[in-house]
């Protein structure tokens, strides 16, 4: 909102109290700050604020308003890939979680029915109950069916796709300037599993 428009809106709200309900949200939405530092602090304290709604007052024409630097051309493609990787990561996590649950249920069954079950060797015991393991064929049919179903769902190999996409994305992140990496790190934080920002 321009300075003149803001003044006119405030004047209109002052003169017409019945319109204040509609005008105040517009006024609150746009703010003008005395200095660039004040604007930066406000935006830091309010990360969801739309930067384009806020301006810095002109200082008698002696100081220019800071214009934001143009974004590096590689930043948007990295951002797009990060969003895609997040979705791929969700699929990977869901499938890993479902498989882990199936293994846990099979281990519970094996505790009571497998004489060679060894509680001191959880990895070895888990291998015995999974497809190809020595105890797998002794599991109830519904458990065997669940493992086969999970294997069938993972035919597209979501794990290797996820790790491959993660590696490619890290390579692209590493090529970005440090300032762009900092911006993306702030934007995504720790949401992307395995991406190192080095910023």
- Which tens digits make up the pLDDT trace of 32-63? 777 888 878 878 887 777 777 677 777 655 55
Residues 108-137 have a mean pLDDT of 89
Is it the case that residue 74 has pLDDT exceeding 60?
yes
Cβ(43)–Cβ(54) below 8 Å: yes
Domains of the chain, by residue range, sit at: 3-56, 75-188
pLDDT of residue 123: 87
Q: How far is 151 from 145, CA to CA, in rounded Å?
A: 10
At CA 119, angle to CA 118 and CA 124, rounded to 5?
55
Q: How far is CA 26 from the centre of its chain?
A: 30
128-156 pLDDT tens trace: 888 888 999 999 999 999 988 888 877 66
The phi, psi pair for 66, rounded to 5°, reads -70, 130
Place of tokens 């930066």: 40
Is the pTM above the cut of 0.95?
no
């Amino acid at each position: 909102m321009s300075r003149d428009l803001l003044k006119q809106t405030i004047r209109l709200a002052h003169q017409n109290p019945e319109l204040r309900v509609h005008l105040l949200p517009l006024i609150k939405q746009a703010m003008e700050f005395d200095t660039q530092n004040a604007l930066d602090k406000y935006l830091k304290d309010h990360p969801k604020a739309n930067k384009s709604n806020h301006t810095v007052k002109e200082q008698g024409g002696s100081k220019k308003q800071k214009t934001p630097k143009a974004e590096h051309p590689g930043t948007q493609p990295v951002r797009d890939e990060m969003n895609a990787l997040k979705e791929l990561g969700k699929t990977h996590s869901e499938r890993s979680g479902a498989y882990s649950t199936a293994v846990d249920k099979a281990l519970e069954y094996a505790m009571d029915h497998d004489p060679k079950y060894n509680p001191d060797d959880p990895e070895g015991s888990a291998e015995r109950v999974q497809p190809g393991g020595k105890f797998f064929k002794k599991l109830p049919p519904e458990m065997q069916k669940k493992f086969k179903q999970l294997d069938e769902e993972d035919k597209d190999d979501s794990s290797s796709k996820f790790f491959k996409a993660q590696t490619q994305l890290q390579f692209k992140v590493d090529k970005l300037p440090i300032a762009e990496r900092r911006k993306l790190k702030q934007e995504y934080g720790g949401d992307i599993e395995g991406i190192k920002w080095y910023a």
